Amino acid sequence: MEVSLFNHRTVFMHLAAVVLLLPLAATAHAQGRSTTFAVTRSAGDLRTADQIIDTMIRERTLVVRSVERDALLPDRVHERLDQFMSGVRVVGGDLRRQTAPDGTVSVFGTLHTELTLDLTPRLAGDAVRAAIASAAGGEATGPDPELVILPLSDGYHLAYRGQAIAGLEILNVFVDANSGGPLQQFSDFISDVGKGTGAYGDLKKVSAKAMSGTFVTDDVLRPTDITTYDMKGNLTRLLSILNVQTAVAASDIASDTDNDWTDSTVVDAHVYAGWYYDYLVKRLGRRGTDNNDLRMAVFTHPVRLADLGSAVPAVVGQYYLNAFECNTCGPNGRGAVVFGEGAPRNTVIPGVEVKPFSAALDVVAHELTHGVTGHSAGLNGFQYSEAGALNEAFSDMFGAATAFFYLPPGNAPMQASYLGGKDLSVPSGALGRSLSNPRSTGDPDHYTQRFVGGDPHYNSTIASHAFYLAIEGGRNATSGLSVQGVGAANREQIEKAFFRALTSLMPSSSTFALTRAATIQAARDLYGAGSAAEGAVTQAWDAVGVQPRTLPTAALLPNPAIPSTAVCTGLANPHWLLGVTTSAGSSSLRVTQWALDFFDHTGALQDHEMFSGTAFAQAFNQCGPGNANVMAQTDACSTFCVDLRGDTNGAAQVTFNAVDASGQPIVFSSPRIALLPR
């Protein structure tokens, strides 16, 4: 038996997403206590929660960021509150409080207490921006960096948060406020009526405006302006616009001389953005991505198909085979969506043509939903977290929901289905994630199959499958549990419950468990306790294995992002690249030792490999700084290579021994997983 701990810089590609795993600096950190609130009238002590919140508001340790009236229940009001310590914001320390005329209805979020952090930074001025630039390997940009308290899995760090331009994207960067060392980073990229033809030859009405003897894709018929730009393959200019270094010009807007549009990429992008806006208003009562009719800036043709053969892999991945949204990019730094150019048949995938990424209505809606999330729950935090996966999940949910709102159900192009992005390829469905059967696209359908240390798109199907089950009903393949869905005729109930949870109830640091509580509460608010919608949502989360996060759990699975042959050397064949995630519940943990058990093809124990707490700190650094301590409600994860001494199949399991915050010993294990030849 060989076990090789795997820890190196890796690029992951998964359906139009690039995720970079970066080494984290070992820096001094302070301890504290995190408390997660999922308090409702049916569960928890709302009076105590109110007292805590009101006291902290008076002390200015909680600051009301916004107060909004509920679009679906006008008698309800939602407060969003941010936590501060002596004027320094605590990242992820935010609450959502829902009130009705007769008092508080629910409180969701996380607070951090008993912090002992010294809030005097040693870095200042130009040294901060230099540290951010160095950490990103690029150029610092954007507003002045913000001094924050950053909770990571090993404790609390005084940090600066800023932005940097690195290669083809904008990064949000956290550096240690004393040493300048890197702590964490993630990408910021999550009329008159004419007619035009889409990518599938379908005739569409194009909301255009006459200007200077021509027509441009600037929609002025809707309350929000929707402007679609044609960058004509000028990637350098696009990057300068996205980085807010260059202003857009009238000549950047897509144009047509006779209002009979033949550029299908522009037609699809512009029309589908308008359809998405209409879906938000008509179905959910929301006025655009920010609920205040913020302009939608849509960019097409970032590159030229003719240049595909000479493009470097990073450009291919980001601007040919991708679509993305960026909340701080584009005109006036107010947000932008970019749709990749696609690829001709056989140039990237044998036998497959990749359409321009605006060709699929659900993909356009997916990207614009990222804008909704950024302006509400704000789940655009670290990609290596459950919040990052939830960000992708909600975009998949409302990508599908928008398609079902406009298109007939079916598996052909221009029909709505639960296979996200099926219209991106010919033959249809060669790309995508399945909400109805995640296993069919190589994605997890159950919480025990999560891997936090990789691409957040991968874990997203745990939540989006719950959304599907709550609508359509059915049986989860892993748990075997059945769900009585509300039925396709009542899909509006589940859409409203999940959307209301996202935009009104959920905080930025949401976990799967907190999302379970918030969506159940939203269904109860809208349709009543004991309603079919509440029951369907509850059963769906049960079926995918998401429960209140009180006890520690572990998950183990073959790493889905890259083949083992790419990184595992010196091992017997076959061998596997395994991802492992350990998650703390309501108590912080100190891991004292951990073990990997391997079983041969008969099920007999083949090896029992023991590791120390020190080895845990060294190995588990993919979604945190690497430490034997794991804070409450956080995760630690790692990847390693294994073989079975030449045995062609078998199984594996990981077990952790830890001590909780009260000093009590705890033992917990992952499910035993099968290791099968690929």
Active-site amino acid positions: 367, 457
Helix (H, G, I), strand (E, B) or coil at 68: strand
Does residue 618 come out as left (phi exceeding 0), alpha (psi in the -120 to 50 range) or beta?
alpha
Q: What angle is formed at CA 637 by the lines to CA 636 and CA 641, rounded to 5 degrees?
A: 155
- Residue 347 falls in which region: left (phi positive, over 0), alpha (psi -120 to 50) or beta: alpha
Q: Is the Cβ–Cβ distance between 68 and 504 less than 8 Å?
A: yes
- Answer whether 263's CB lies under 8 Å from 199's CB: no
Q: Provide DSSP, 341-354.
A: --B-TTTSBTTBEE
At residue 638, φ and ψ (nearest 5 deg) are -155, 170
d(CA 6, CA 644): 17
- The one-letter amino acid code at 263 reads D
**DSSP-assigned beta bridge partners for residue 40:** 43, 106
- Structure letter (DSSP) for residue 559: -
Q: CA nearest 600: which of 644, 655, 653, 654?
A: 644
What is the total residue count of the chain?
A: 678
8-state DSSP, 43: B
Give the Cα separation of 132 and 128 in Å (integer).
Answer: 6
CA 537, chain centre distance (Å):
20
Which DSSP state fits 282?
I
Q: Is the peptide bond before 408 cis (omega within 30 degrees of 0)?
A: no
Q: Report the DSSP pairing between strands 139-152 and 88-100.
A: parallel
**Nearest Cα to Cα of residue 358 among 489, 217, 234, 246:** 217
DSSP code of residue 529 = T
CA dihedral 423, 429, 431, 437 (to 10 degrees): 120
The answer to whether the bond into 427 is cis (omega within 30° of 0) is yes
Kindly provide the residue ranges of all beta strands, DSSP E only, lying in 502-603, ordered along the sequence: 553-558, 575-583, 589-599
Query: Which tokens is 202 given?
Result: 């379908």
